[in-house]
């Protein structure tokens, strides 16, 4: 998320201009920007699971912002399975 050289160890940085990030009540990180994909081709159920009606991408990551606006990823909501 941060511009080169603007990071803080242990974080993914601050939110770039044109990108919105919010942490919802269960600590999931949601992202919205013009660069977020519009959905899965021919898979409306998967698209609804990934994107809310307002265009927020449910990342599946858990996180928190510090007082300076740096985002730290603290875990994941979903189990990842090797392919």
Q: Is residue 82 part of a domain?
A: no
Q: Answer whether residue 66 is part of any domain.
A: yes
Q: For residue 54, what are the domain limits?
A: 20-76
CATH code of the domain containing 68 = 2.30.38.10
User: The whole model's pTM is what?
Assistant: 0.86
Please report the pLDDT score of residue 80 as a whole number.
57
Residue 47 and residue 63: Cα distance in Å, rounded?
22
Q: CB count, 10 Å around CB of 79?
A: 6
pLDDT digits (tens, 9 = 90+) for 18-76: 999 999 999 999 999 999 999 999 999 999 999 999 999 999 999 999 999 999 999 99
| Number of domains making up the chain | 1
């Amino acid at each position: 998320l941060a511009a080169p050289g603007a990071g803080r160890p242990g974080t993914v940085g601050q939110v770039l201009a044109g990108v919105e990030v919010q942490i919802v009540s269960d600590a999931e990180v949601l992202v919205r920007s013009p660069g977020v994909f519009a959905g899965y081709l021919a898979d409306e159920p998967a698209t609804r699971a990934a994107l809310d009606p307002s265009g927020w991408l449910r990342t599946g990551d858990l996180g928190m912002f510090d007082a300076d606006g740096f985002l730290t990823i603290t875990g994941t909501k979903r189990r990842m399975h090797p392919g």
